[in-house]
Chains A and B, each alone.
Chain A
Amino acid sequence: AQSVTQPDIHITVSEGASLELRCNYSYGATPYLFWYVQSPGQGLQLLLKYFSGDTLVQGIKGFEAEFKRSQSSFNLRKPSVHWSDAAEYFCAVFNTNAGKSTFGDGTTLTVKP
């Protein structure tokens, strides 16, 4: 069965510092991978997605993620964090065989001024 692990429940970074949020997945075939962001009281917004091809994908709001098959990882990065990036971030994998999406438990990002 597929699964998604986000090892960090909570991360705090200073404004202007770089950010990396970790995501590890367990899935037999080539996965479809996603990162979403959720602001308090809101739904989730799609940041970026990986289906195939270039392993470094660019998303909205200056985010990027790198797919590493050997490490079963799809980490989200941003070179310089802004206070408005404070939110909860979810990694998700889509199982093309079962037709189901599985979400990680989320990582809450706090940005210090």
Chain B
Amino acid sequence: KAGVTQTPRYLIKTRGQQVTLSCSPISGHRSVSWYQQTPGQGLQFLFEYFSETQRNKGNFPGRFSGRQFSNSRSEMNVSTLELGDSALYLCASSQTPTGGSGYTFGSGTRLTVV
């Protein structure tokens, strides 16, 4: 079966712009979590959606938001981009909330803010 699909794979944006990242989970998985990965901070949890409801949120500013659609696809939005937002953004889907049964990760979206 198809894996977790993240689009786009690479993005270059200018400081102050906004960006939307997309994630399609594995068929049948209703939980989608987003992580930010940087060399300095490692893997940081952003938020998790389960059946279109945000279940958990990490310690990120309100500029980071997300949503989940009825088909479980999820989008993440970052507004007013800052240089420090440059990172690999990973989407992870799981059958049970928050990866309790283990995550399946996408390949990520590499965001570069210039």
Please tell me if A90 contacts chain B, counting CB pairs below 8 Å: yes
Please tell me if B25 contacts chain A, counting CB pairs below 8 Å: no
Report the contact-size class of chain B (Cβ under 8 Å from the partner).
20 to 34
Chain B residues whose CB sits within 8 angstroms of the CB of A94 once the complex forms: 98-100
B108 and A101 contact, CB distance less than 8 A: no
Which residue of chain B lies nearest to A48 when distances are taken between CB atoms in the complex?
B102
Please tell me if A105 contacts chain B, counting CB pairs below 8 Å: yes
Known contacts A44-B103, A46-B103; is-contact A101 B42 (Cβ 8 Å):
no
Main secondary structure of the interface of A (DSSP, over half): strand
Known contacts A44-B90, A90-B43, A106-B42; is-contact A99 B97 (Cβ 8 Å):
yes
Q: Apart from A43-B92, A94-B99, A99-B100, list 8 A-B contacts with CB within 8 A.
A: A41-B107, A43-B105, A46-B102, A46-B104, A49-B102, A100-B98, A101-B100, A101-B103
Interface residues of B (CB under 8 A from A): 4, 6, 33, 42-43, 45, 55-56, 90, 92, 97-108, 110
